[in-house]
Structure formats: C-alpha cells, structure tokens
Chain A
Amino acid sequence: MRFLEQLGLYIILLKKVFSKPEKAAIYYKQTMHELVYLGFNSVGIISVISFFMGSAITLQTAYNTENPIYPLYLIGLGCRDSIILEFSSTISALILAGKVGSNIASEIGTMRITEQIDALEIMGVNSASYIILPKIIATLIFNPILTLISIIVGIIGGGIAGTMAGVITLQDFIYGIQYAFIPYYITYSIIKTLFFAFIITTVSAFQGYYVNGGSLEVGRASTKAVVHSSILILIFNVILTQLLLS
C-alpha cells in the first residue's frame, strides 16, 4: 500500500516536472549551471574510479587466463568488453547515485524545510519543474559523456596496469582492445546510462521534494535517495541487458 502511494506521488511529481516551463531562458540558464554542478564536477571522481577499475579488471583477467593456450590479447579484449558492457555504465551510475543523488536530495530537501520551495510556489512558479527539470536535462546530457570518459580512462588504466605488471605487452593489449570490436556495445552502454541518469535524478529529487521535518529528515532522504536509486539501477541493469542484448 505504501509502495503504491509513493509510486503515485512519484508519477504526480513527474507530471509537474514535465509541464510547460514558465520562461525558457531561465530554464536554459539553470540547465547550464546544473551541467557544471552535476556533470562537469563529476569528471574527476569518475576518471579516478575508472582508471583503477580498468587496472583491476586487466590484472584479474590476466590472472584468469594464465593458461598458455589463451592468446595474450584476450586480456585486452576482456578488459574492453567488461568496461564497455558493465563497469562504465553500471558502476559509474552507482558512484553517481552516491555523489549526485545524495547532493540532489539534500539540496531539494533543504529548500523544502527552509520554505524556499513554498516561496517559489507563492510567486506562481512551478517549483518542481524549475528545480528538477534542469537537473534531469543536465544529467541526461552529461552522464553519457561521463560514461565515454569512463570507458577511455578505464581502458587506459587497464593498459598501464597490465604493461607495468608485466602480464601483457602494450602491443598485445592494443591488439586486444581492437579485436572483434562491436560498436553496438557503446550504444548499449549509452542507452543504459540514459536510463540510469533519469533514475538517479528523479528518484533523488522525489526523496528531497517530499521531505517533511528538519535536518534529520533531510539526511534520511539523502540516504534513501542513494539506496533506492542504487537498487533501481541494478534492477534496470538486468532488464535492459535482457532487452538490448538478447
């Protein structure tokens, strides 16, 4: 029953968010701000995580393919496909659910408890649309860019770790990441990222928008935003994989 009530509120909120904006110029400005705040500011963390993720995948793949009948370039191939198919979209989305999701929930939650949302409503502004829509647009634009950055940095990390550890030569690694490349995997990864970006932003905004109480509730909403977004990301990961790769 409680789930249905929450789902109903979430749908009502989305309806408000996607109604006609009051003034497009203001929304454009807000979206640019969110692109920097939610998108560009996440490049660092995604790069660092992807670099070490790629390194670990390469070393683990090398450890599992020690048998001499396997050609060495398979390490590069395994690293590339793991990063593109799973890690850069799903793991990055889980990281962003923690960073961006908690940020959105606490920002909107604080606006709610300090009556800033009421102030917008009193002025005749559609508060849900004004606050949330630019965040959704910004993450839908920038998260695929973050995924591409993650793929590139992850593969570079894998190459560096593999050659430095002496498990593969640079030539074999480069040959492996080019071998039997299927461009659709990138499309698949980007489609997943778009779904995940929408989940992170709307679920976190929902948690923040309906906060009732004080700072303790804002903290709880922030935690819920991360937990619920992460669970939904993992569920949709399975669904999308079945739909897009079967």
Chain B
Amino acid sequence: MSPHLLCILIPLLPLLGFVVNGLGFRKVPTSLVGIVGLAGPVLAFLCVCLLWGNFHAGNDAVIKTTLFDWISVGEMHINFSFQIDQLTMLMLGIVTGIGSLIHLYSIGYMNHDEGYGKFMAFLNLFLFFMLLLVLGSNFVIMFIGWEGVGLCSYLLIGFWNTNTSYNNAARKAFVMNRIGDLGFLLGIFTIMTTFGSVEYTDVFEQVVGMDVNAPVILTITLLLFVGAMGKSAQIPLFTWLPDAMAGPTPVSALIHAATMVTAGIYMVVRANVLFSMAPLTLDIIGGIAIATALLAASIGLLQNDIKKVLAYSTVSQLGYMFLGLGAAAYTAGMFHVITHAFFKALLFLGAGSVIHAMSNEQDIRNMGGLRKSLPITYWTFLVGTIAIAGIPPFAGFFSKDEILAHVYEHSKVLWALGLLGSAMTSFYMFRLLFLTFFGEFRGTDEQKHHLHESPLSMTLPLLVLAVLSVVGGFMNVPEVLGGHSVLAEFMSPLFDQARQANPALFEANALDHGTELMLMSISAGVAIVMAVVAYVMYVRNAAVPAPDSQVRSLPQQVVYGKYYIDDFYDRLIVRPVRGLGDAFYSLGEFVIDAVVGGVAWSVRSSAGVFRRAQSGSIGLYVLLMVLSITLFIALRFFNWKVFN
C-alpha cells in the first residue's frame, strides 16, 4: 500500500471504531463491542508497521501527505496534511502498539461495566485524536489533536459520571488543560504572525537564520511550553493528573501515563529548532522540570492509594523527560518517553489487575501478600518496578541514565537533584511493591475469598509489556557499554536544523567513558540501596503505613497533604475567581438585564409596527409596495442629498 493511503488509514481506523461503537451504543452486542474496539488499534498498528517498512525503504526520507486545503484566509493556507518522519514513526509505534495492548486489556477489565461500548468508543476516539496529534504536519493539526485528547481525557476521567468527585476531577483536568491550551494557542498565533505559516517545515526553515534568544522566539517557546505544562502536568499545572486517576485504570495507563501526557514532550521535540534557538527557555524548562520531579516524587513517598502513587510517579517521570529536554538532550527525552510508556503502562495495568482482584479496593494498607494469588501480576509488576527504579539492565536504567548523563554535562547541581529524585522513585516504587505483594493479607475475608488472577485478555498485555520493559532499553545502549546508540542515530536527522541554527548548544563536551561509567554505577547503586531500604522497612520489619486518623509529625503531615498545593490553589485562585464571578454576576445581572430588557423592549415595539403592516390585506400590501417603490425612485432620482 502506498504511504499516503496508510497515513489516512491509520487515524481513520480508530475513528471508524468510535463511530460504530459510539452510534451503536447499547445496540451493538457486547461480544462485538470488544472486537470492533480492538480492531481499530490493531489494524492501525499493522498499518504503522507497513508504513515503517515504506519509510525505511525510502531511506528515512520525510513523507508528506496533503489531504486537502483546509482553511484559507487571505494569504494564509492551512493544509490538512500529515508528515511522517522519525519522530512521528516512534510516536505512532507507541500509540498504536501500546494502545492495542490496552484496548485488549480493557476488554477484560470493562466488559461487565454498563457503559462498556461507550468506554471502547471513547478510547478509540482518544486514539484517533492522539494519532492526529502526532501525524499532523503543522501546529494547527497538532492543536486539534491536542484539544481532542483533552476532551477524551475529560470524558474518560468522568466516565463513571454518577460520582460527583469523579466529575470534579474531570472538570479540574479540563480547566487546567484549558489554561495550558490557551498558552499553546497564543504560541500558535504568534507563530502565525511571525512566520506567516504554521507548517513545521516552513516555520523551521525561517527560524534557522534568526538570532539566538530573540525575543519573539522566547515568547513563542515559552507560550508553547505553557501548553506543555498543562498537558504534561508540570508545575504549576500538575495537580490534575493525580485526580485524573478517578477514571478507569486502562484510561490511566493509556492516557495518563503512556501517551497523552507525553504530548508536551513530543511537542518540544517536534519544535526542537525553535527551542534550541531559545536556550533561556530551555533553562526555565529544566528548572521547572527538576522541581516537578522532586515535588511529585516526595509526595509519592507517603501515598497509600496504589494508583495515586503511580500518578505521582508519572508526574515525576515527566519531570525527568523535561529535564532531559532542558539539557537539549532531545533523544534522551524521547527515549525516556518510550521506555516510560512500556513500564508505566505495565505498572498501571498491573495495578488494574490488583484492583480487579480486590473488588475495587485501591488502598495498599488493605492489601499485602498478593503474590501467591496473583502470580503473573506480581512478576510483571516486579519487572515494571525494577525498570522504573533504574536498576540495570532493565529499560528505565538506560533512559534515565542517559538523561542524567546529559544533565551532568550541563550542571552538576541539577544532576545531584536528579539523583535524589531517582532515589525517592526507587524507594516509593519498592514500597508499593512490597506493601501490595508481600507480607500478610490485610483486607477483609470477603476480599480474600474473591482473590483471583485476571483473565488472559488482561494478563497477556502485562506479559508483553513486561518483556518490552526488560528489553526496551537495548534500543539505545550507549557506546560505553558496547552499544551503538541506535535510537540516537535514527533520530539524528531531526536535529540537523537545530544544530545548524544554534551550533553552540550542541557543542560536544562529551563525558569521557570513565565519568560516564561512574555516573551509571552511582545511580544504579542508589536505586538498589533504596530498594534494600524499602525491603528492610516493609518486609523485614513489616511496617504498615499509619491510618489517616493518626497524628503525624509536621513534615510528614505537609508531604501527606501534598504540600497543600490544592488548597493553596483553591484559596489563591478558585475562591477569588468565584468571588469575582459572583460580583460580576450580581452587577452584570443588573446592567445586562437592563440592556437586554431594553433591547427586547425595542425589538418588541418595532415588531409591533412590522406586524401591523402584515395585516393579510393585499390592498395594503400593494399600497405599501407602491409607496416604497415611489419613495426609492423619488429619493434616488430627485434628491441626491439623501443617499450621496
């Protein structure tokens, strides 16, 4: 098949699934819902594989497909077109591949739910928008996808919409994303006015000749990064992501871990030419990223909800990715996106399997000892934990280490902070693992009786993802360890323009092999030490986190209360805005009522005149017509003053 057809088919297939399951909700039989819902992503994945073959056969040349001229306003033409390059191929692989696995998992996880068909339809729709986001060849298409995935995220977080707090979580996610989107949109507008185009290739070509840190580039990149903050949950717009765990677990795995939240990283890598021209912005990104990574990791230390721990871990890992981008290590950032997609999806799906077995219990204080009754879940979860903790030779080690190595080149302080975050990650992940799967069972008898391993449709994705989490890191083994940095070489053409535009940023001050090995062993050592600490605390000493009612020491209280950031936002922003809204409302009610009332009154009185003319009598009609004709001709021909 031609690459053009494939490009069209890839997003179209999930959309088809959405249409069938969405329009046929409650009409399509349950057995068919799963097949239809799964067919879209799987076929899209096959198309991606074929496309990869095409792409490879064309010597990795960029493929562009224009579907149609979409918007033309004056000189501005925005095409509905797709662009296939290395970055797109990677993202397509992740989205459709992991998407397929999670769809498969959802069939097992959701098929007893009343809204099963709706759920599959929304997932398919999400996939469609996500594919649009990564396929688009200009910022506007990306924005459509960007908004679309936000919408789907909203719909799926509030999927169980009979629960008010879930709805509030969905609303929070939506509002926070809107704030980011506004920044993104303003960035796009600035791009439009500056470059007269939104097409990636056009924009980047023009950027190359500009000054480094030019104000307009700084403005654009900062605005774009505001968008990324919202979507990828960075300080200060990160609080929605933990709340988003209200959605069904496959949603958390697909949208809030593997794909959508990495859209911000994708966007920065996509616009790497712009960001490379604005080192100042990169520094700001690096600062925000490390703060996010540490803050989220520290909150994760004391959380007791299995999904909340993973959520904070996601925020923290996203911080790592941005940390890499901040050091202009775009490849490392993308590498972490990929490996993180593997192991975080695995962990979430594993958590889903646990929750499934525990009859919707999410508190790890009520779990324990599950490794006997859930062997597959346990082993895969263990793999995921090792991977995220950064213990070699699992996937997380390679990607995290590459980021840290680049950060070390950039700033040693940042590196030390990153290492601290890595230590915390290792600790809270092993804490989670031990509390869930080791020790004695702490739940009710009824739950104990009900414990069971999940069906094959759920365990199969776990196994596949576990394998990927083990071997995923080998796609970019650094030269120190005898690898060839395959991924870096593959992605290298993406950064040609950036190198050309701002060579200073990429000047090689590469670490010597000794330092590199030392850094690796330090971070691996820290991870292992923290794992042992966690083992001692939670397995050897069998400590169980205190119930909520117990009094905590002040620092613990602050961390357990998530640094009171939510309350802070509530006091600083939500309540004042609401107060302002109330004030405007009462004032507006008066003023606007007066205006509206006045308009209505004048409309009504003029309508009265018009209606009286419409009496139904032909004589009157003809008279009025003749009068107006006479008037027109008289005014036009015998008194020039009226009209001219």
Partners in one complex: no
Interface, chain B (partner A; CB < 8 A) = none
